[in-house]
Amino acid sequence: MLRLRVITPTASTEDVVSLLRTTVGTAHLVVLAGAARDPEGDLVMCDVAREAADGLIAELKGRGLDTHGAITVDDISLSLSARAEQAEVDAPGEGVDAVLWESLTDATHEESRLSVTYLAFLVLATMLAACGVMLDSAILIVGAMAVGPEFGPLAGVCTALARRRARLLWRPLTALTVGFPVAMLATGAFTLLMDAAGLFSERQYRQPHPVSEFVWHPDLMSFVVAVLAGVGGILSLTSAKSGALVGVAISVTTVPAAANAALALSYGDVPDAVGSMQQLALNLAGILLAGTLTLLAQKLFWAWQRGRTCGQERPV
Domain segments of the chain: what residues?
A: 2-98, 103-302
Residue type, 67: T
pLDDT reading at 306 higher than 80: no
Between 294 and 307, the more confident residue is 294
pLDDT reading at 292 higher than 60: yes
pLDDT reading at 149 higher than 60: yes
Spatial distance between the Cα atoms of 231 and 233, rounded to a whole number of angstroms: 6
- Using only the alpha carbons of the chain, give its radius of gyration: 24
Question: Model confidence at 310, in pLDDT bands (50, 70, 90)?
Answer: low
Interhelix angle for 138-147 vs 254-266, to 10°? 120
pLDDT of residue 105: 87
Between 87 and 5, the more confident residue is 5
The rounded percent of the chain whose pLDDT value lies above 70 is: 91
Question: Model confidence at 315, in pLDDT bands (50, 70, 90)?
Answer: very low
pLDDT of residue 307: 67
pLDDT of residue 101: 86
Over residues 240-262, the mean pLDDT reads 75
pLDDT 10s digits, 152-194? 999 999 999 999 988 899 999 999 999 999 999 999 999 999 9
pLDDT 10s digits, 93-140? 776 677 888 888 888 888 888 999 999 999 999 999 999 999 999 999
pLDDT of residue 95: 65
pLDDT reading at 316 higher than 60: no
Topology given in CATH for the domain delimited by 2-98: Alpha-Beta Plaits (3.30.70)
CATH architecture of the region 103-302: Up-down Bundle (1.20)
